[in-house]
Amino acid sequence: MTGRAPVAVVMGTRPEAIKLAGLVTGLGDDALVVHTGQHYDAQLWENVQADLPGMHVDEHIHCGGRSRGEQIGMATSEMTRFLSSRDIRAVVVQGDTNSTLAGALAANALGLPLVHVEAGLRSGDRRMPEEINRILVDTLADLCCAPVERNANQLIQERVTPDRIVITGNTLWDAMAMIRPTPQGTAQALDSLNVPPGDYVLATIHRAGTVSDTERLVGLLDGLDALAEQAEVVFPVHPRTSAAIAEAGLSGRWQRIHMVQPLPPSQFMALEAGATLLVSDSGGVQEEACFLRRPLLVLRDSTERPELLDGWCRLLGDQDPAVAIDRAWADARQWGADLAIRQLPYPGESASSVIAAEINRRWPA
pLDDT of residue 330: 98
Q: Are residues 240 and 108 in the same domain?
A: no
Q: Where are the alpha helices (DSSP H) in 208-350?
A: 208-211, 214-227, 239-247, 265-274, 283-292, 321-339
Domain assignment present for 190: yes
Q: Are residues 50 and 89 in the same domain?
A: yes
CATH code, domain with 317: 3.40.50.2000
Domain assignment present for 177: no
Q: Are residues 159 and 77 in the same domain?
A: yes
pLDDT of residue 160: 98
What's the length of the chain? 365
Number of neighbours of residue 165 by Cβ within 10 angstroms: 22
d(CA 156, CA 175): 28
How far, in whole angstroms, is CA 237 from its chain's centroid? 16
Q: Are residues 187 and 319 in the same domain?
A: yes
CB 290 within 8 A of CB 346: yes
> For each of the chain's 365 residues, which pLDDT tens digit applies?
557 899 999 999 989 999 999 999 999 999 999 999 887 676 667 778 778 888 889 999 988 778 888 999 999 999 999 999 999 999 999 999 999 999 999 999 999 999 999 999 999 999 999 999 999 999 999 999 999 999 999 999 999 999 999 999 999 999 999 888 899 999 999 999 999 889 999 999 999 889 999 999 999 999 999 999 999 999 999 999 999 999 999 999 999 999 999 999 999 999 999 999 999 999 999 999 999 999 999 999 999 999 999 999 999 999 999 999 999 999 999 999 999 999 999 887 899 999 999 999 999 98
Q: Are residues 331 and 355 in the same domain?
A: no
How far, in whole angstroms, is CA 91 from its chain's centroid? 19
Q: Which domain covers residue 133, as residue numbers? A: 7-170+347-362
Q: Are residues 302 and 351 in the same domain?
A: no
Domain assignment present for 73: yes
- Phi then psi for 123, rounded to 5 degrees? -100, -20
Domain assignment present for 124: yes
pLDDT of residue 103: 97
Domain assignment present for 18: yes
From 35, 116, 206, 258, the catalytic residue: 206
Domain assignment present for 81: yes
Catalytic site residue 206?
A: yes
Q: Are residues 217 and 69 in the same domain?
A: no
Q: Are residues 191 and 304 in the same domain?
A: yes
Domain assignment present for 175: no
Q: Are residues 140 and 203 in the same domain?
A: no
Q: 236 CB contacts (<8 Å, ≥6 apart)?
A: 204, 259, 260, 261, 262, 263, 268
CB 155 within 8 A of CB 184: no
pLDDT of residue 285: 97
pLDDT of residue 88: 97
pLDDT of residue 180: 82
Q: Are residues 357 and 317 in the same domain?
A: no
Q: Are residues 234 and 88 in the same domain?
A: no
Domain assignment present for 176: no
Domain count, the chain: 2
Q: Are residues 133 and 93 in the same domain?
A: yes
pLDDT of residue 1: 53
